[in-house]
Amino acid sequence: MIRFCQDIGLWALDRPVSSCLHRTRFCAAHCYNRKLYRLYPAMKTRDQKNETYWQGLTGQALGQDLKRKRKGPNGRLRLCTRGEPFSTEQDVLKVLEILRANRRVLLWIPTRAWRNKALRNMIEQHVLPEKNARVLASIDPSNTQQEIEGLRASGWSTMFFGDNTERTGSYRCPKTWQGRKGACSTCQAGCFSASRVDVHLKTH
């Protein structure tokens, strides 16, 4: 169930929002998927197919699916545009296997699993060191400065959403701030930076 997302210019995998076990109250209240579910009721059926695909997914199978695709670049993939890639410890191991089986693919992985201590430890130990992993801790105004500083100290990049007030030292996402459709396919300084970065998404 890989799809090409024109809006970001990338291949993407999705999971149901029921996988978002580590969301904050702010995230739940401002989830953009609430509007999409109202506009596109068929998304619920799509969710079921996406999750079935995810549960059976292997690194080799993902690589084969990407090779079969003809539209757009296959050097970058987002996990996930909808849903949480790291709901459980098994998911962390699955993503690790995908990373190692597809070294030429950069995986962009926004996550709130850092809020779960066990999952955070696993991600820090196994996923963050992988050179083709671009893991960003998703944060919002409900997260404390202490939490954010703790993430930075542990080497996490962050992706902030929920307030358009200037955030010193953060990189303003060109897709959301400048309306550059497909900017994610070529971005180097933001979410796909090889160095630790703090990305600021504009609130719509």
Cβ distance 189 to 149 under 8 Å? Answer: no
The dihedrals phi and psi of 135, each to the nearest 5 degrees, come to -95, 130
pLDDT in tens, 155-192: 999 999 999 999 999 999 999 999 888 899 999 999 99
73 pLDDT tier (thresholds 50, 70, 90): low
Please say if the pLDDT value at position 98 is more than 70: yes
Report the pLDDT value the prediction gives residue 28, as an integer from 0 to 100.
85
**Residue 70 pLDDT greater than 70, yes or no:** no
Structure tokens at 102: 């597809």
Q: How many domains does the chain have?
A: 1
Q: Is 58 a residue whose pLDDT tops 80?
A: yes
- pLDDT tens digits, residue range 23-50? 999 988 888 777 777 787 777 888 899 9
How is residue 170 annotated by DSSP?
P
SS3 48: helix
Q: Read off the pLDDT of residues 105-151 as tens digits, 9 standing for 90 and up.
A: 999 999 999 999 999 999 999 999 999 999 999 999 999 999 999 99
Residue 156, amino acid: W
Q: What is the pLDDT of residue 68?
A: 83
Write out the residue range of the structural domain in which residue 67 sits: 3-200
Q: How far is CA 42 from CA 23, 31, 39, 52, 173, in A?
A: 24, 18, 9, 16, 30
Indicate whether 74 pLDDT > 70: no
For residues 87-119, one letter each, b for 16 or more C-beta atoms within 10 angstroms of the residue's C-beta and e for the rest, the string is beeebbebbbebbeebeebbbbbbbbbbbbeeb
Cα dihedral 73→77→83→87 (10° resolution): 160
The secondary structure of the chain in percent helix, strand, coil, rounded to multiples of 5, reads 40, 15, 45
pLDDT at 157: 98
Q: CA–CA separation, 196 vs 57, rounded Å?
A: 29
